[in-house]
Amino acid sequence: MFVFNTAKQYNKYYTGEEKSTYSLKFPNIIFQNKVILSKLLKNLRKQDKIKILDFGCGNGRHLYFLLKKVQKLQNKKAVEIICYEISVTGLKTCQSILIKNNFKIISNQKTSDTYKTKKGYCLTKLKKGNIVVKLIHGYEYDNVRNLTNLIGKVDITLCLFGVLSHIHKNRKDYLLLFKNITTQYIFISVPSGNTYKEEQICYKVIRNQQELYPGIEVLKEGDIFVCKNINDKNRVSYYYHIYTKERLKKELEEAGLLNNEIGIICTKKLAPLTRNQILGIYDYIKAKIYSKILPDKCFDKAGFIYSVSKVSKT
């Protein structure tokens, strides 16, 4: 069984805050996400309190978009954004940018004395006006059930840009967690056929010859490993699960999420689309059309696909 330290890999990616390899590669959020997030927030317009979870928030790309949006909301609503991440460097970037934007730390606690032995969580709360941001540092191989109480109920859960794809064994537990704590919408985006094409071909061959590689019999359809240079000094490696529309639908349904809209986020590789707004808008239109006209099987042509699950209150 392989064990990756995904947090350590992303720490390398996020080092350098706004000048990190990650920030330079993906400086903005993808246009399609802006549209979906704006729509979801609009649905919460009438509520006095809004609570959003950004699960696997990374360096906070979506957090900053959300902050800009909620600051514009009328009636001074109470807003809480919870950012959960396993990369401490990603969370430190979130914290330092919040502080630069006049947020003040109002509490800083560790949930247990055994934090140093990696059994507790580190929680930092920051506040500005009516907006509270809670940063939670968690662990990759921890018991997901611990998170239910720690996070509490939220209106919207975001799990964006392949976070779910890094989870190897128990993706269903995470989806169940999202289902249990979310009262309205769960927005997920995951990589599809047009992402890491070479690795996909390579691992397809390996899967077909599995008897030659006894150590990797755990690899299921869609599973790949990625190992690449991210800059002159650093190389990262991680596990990644590439989705088809059918596989995403099946995993959502197995977790009891039945009310799902599934579509294409982008047709091309994501990085250039986050750097060039015009390219981003052009690809957004293409993705919208593809989502409508392509049969399910052809969603493999997509770079990333998304689901918005409406949680039914029973």
Q: Which residues bind ligand SAM (CB under 6 A)?
A: 6-7, 10, 56-58, 61-62, 85-87, 90, 140, 160-163, 166-167
Q: How far is the CB of 214 from ligand SAM (least distance, A)?
A: 27
Q: How far is the CB of 147 from ligand SAM (least distance, A)?
A: 9
Q: How far is the CB of 268 from ligand SAM (least distance, A)?
A: 17
Q: How far is the CB of 162 from ligand SAM (least distance, A)?
A: 5
Closer to ligand SAM by Cβ: residue 58 or 193: 58
Q: How far is the CB of 238 from ligand SAM (least distance, A)?
A: 8
Closer to ligand SAM by Cβ: residue 69 or 258: 69
Q: Which position's Cβ is nearest ligand SAM?
A: 58
Closer to ligand SAM by Cβ: residue 56 or 120: 56
Question: What is the pairing mode between strands 104-110 and 122-128?
Answer: antiparallel
Closer to ligand SAM by Cβ: residue 96 or 312: 96
Closer to ligand SAM by Cβ: residue 58 or 222: 58
Closer to ligand SAM by Cβ: residue 7 or 40: 7
DSSP codes joined into one string, 234-265? -EEEEEEE---HHHHHHHHHHTT--SEEEEEE
Instruction: Give the chain's length.
Output: 314
Q: Name the DSSP letter for residue 220.
A: P
Q: φ, ψ for residue 281 (rounded to 5)?
A: -70, -40
Our CA dihedral for 6, 122, 190, 213, rounded to 10 degrees, sits at: 30
Which one, of 148, 27, 38, 19, lies nearest residue 84 by Cα?
A: 148
Q: Are 309 and 252 in contact (CB under 8 A)?
A: yes
Q: Name the DSSP letter for residue 15.
A: T
Structure token digits, residue 285: 């239109």
Closer to ligand SAM by Cβ: residue 90 or 280: 90
For the chain, what is the radius of gyration of the CA atoms?
A: 19
Residue with tokens 């006049």: 102
Q: How far is the CB of 10 from ligand SAM (least distance, A)?
A: 4
Q: How far is the CB of 178 from ligand SAM (least distance, A)?
A: 12
Complete edge-to-edge strand list for the sheet that includes strand 78-85 = 104-110, 122-128, 131-137, 78-85, 49-55, 154-159, 182-191, 304-310, 260-266
